[in-house]
Amino acid sequence: MRKIFLLLFALSLFTSCEITETVHINPDNSGTIEYDSHRNENSYMQIAKEEYSKETIFKDTTYVFQGYIDKYNANFIKYTPQEQELFNRFKNVKVHIKKSAFDKEFRNTITQEFSNVEDIADLTKTEHYVDDIIHNYALTAEEHYYNIRFTLKDNTFNRIVTITDEAIYKTEKEKLQNFKKQLANFNLVQSYIIKYHFPRKIKTVSNPNAVISADKKSLELNLKIIDFLENPTSTNLEVTLE
């Protein structure tokens, strides 16, 4: 029973969260992206039960990824040129982490300014890569199974999600399916909201569930976090602009 509780408790970090991924693109293809995740307290309380009131943590910190490259440069230079290039894509990424048991606010906000849409990093991996640099972990030990990237060519914008490791994906998918059964009796908020703002009007969008704004310059797509983790490529988007 305790083992099941620990599994549920671990997954609650995902299943009791609300994530918003927001992109603003300027006419010159520069812009900003923000990946904001915060704990939904009502959902988390269902999982944590009596442990909820025992929390004592407080953390409020902000950092820029480049700071860790500089501070742990002795580790950084041990990576291959290709791995260093990957880390350098995150150089200007900013992270704000707040964990307050008193305020009951648990939020991670990761932002990046970009000169071109293609420069956007996969922000979901930011904190993992910081840990890699601090501890000199090998990237080959990472258990990521998908990658997110963005393109904007002519009038076509793409959010491209690819499966990078089929074996890990299969294992994680099986775990997620089991977790879904175990969490079936909980009423959890686990929303993943995609909000994209464009400098020109939208003509078409590939996902029929995406809602286009009245001015046709932005869209919103809502899904569940666990559904995204089970099938990341379902969030691929192609948007045609005027």
pLDDT tens profile 142-158: 778 999 999 999 999 99
- What pLDDT, on the 0 to 100 scale, is given for residue 176? 83
Give percent helix, percent strand, percent coil of the chain, each to the nearest 5: 40, 35, 25
- CB contact at 8 A, 125 and 108: no
What's the length of the chain?
Answer: 242
Report the pLDDT averaged over residues 39-63. Answer: 82
Residue 6: pLDDT over 60: no
Residue 224, both tokens: 């569940």
- What pLDDT, on the 0 to 100 scale, is given for residue 133? 96
d(CA 110, CA 35): 5
Residue 195: pLDDT over 80: yes
Residue 15: pLDDT over 60: no
Of residues 58 and 188, the one with the higher pLDDT is: 58
Report the pLDDT averaged over residues 165-188. Answer: 83
- What pLDDT, on the 0 to 100 scale, is given for residue 188? 73
Average model confidence (pLDDT) across the chain: 89
What would the pLDDT profile of 88-135 be if each residue is shown by its tens digit? 999 999 999 999 888 988 899 999 999 999 999 999 999 999 999 999
What would the pLDDT profile of 198-242 be if each residue is shown by its tens digit? 999 999 999 999 999 999 999 999 998 888 889 999 999 999 999
Residue 49: pLDDT over 80: no
Of residues 79 and 3, the one with the higher pLDDT is: 79
d(CA 82, CA 175): 31
Report the pLDDT averaged over residues 66-74. Answer: 98
- What pLDDT, on the 0 to 100 scale, is given for residue 14? 57
- What pLDDT, on the 0 to 100 scale, is given for residue 55? 84
Per DSSP, 17 falls in state E
- Percent share of the chain, pLDDT over 90: 66
Per DSSP, 135 falls in state H
Report the pLDDT averaged over residues 47-59. Answer: 81
Residue 10: pLDDT over 60: no
For residue 120, the one-letter residue type is I
How far is the CA of 39 from the CAs of 2, 15, 44, 65, 227, in angstroms?
23, 9, 7, 23, 18
Of residues 176 and 188, the one with the higher pLDDT is: 176
Query: CB neighbours (10 Å) of residue 33?
Result: 22
Residue 53: pLDDT over 90: no
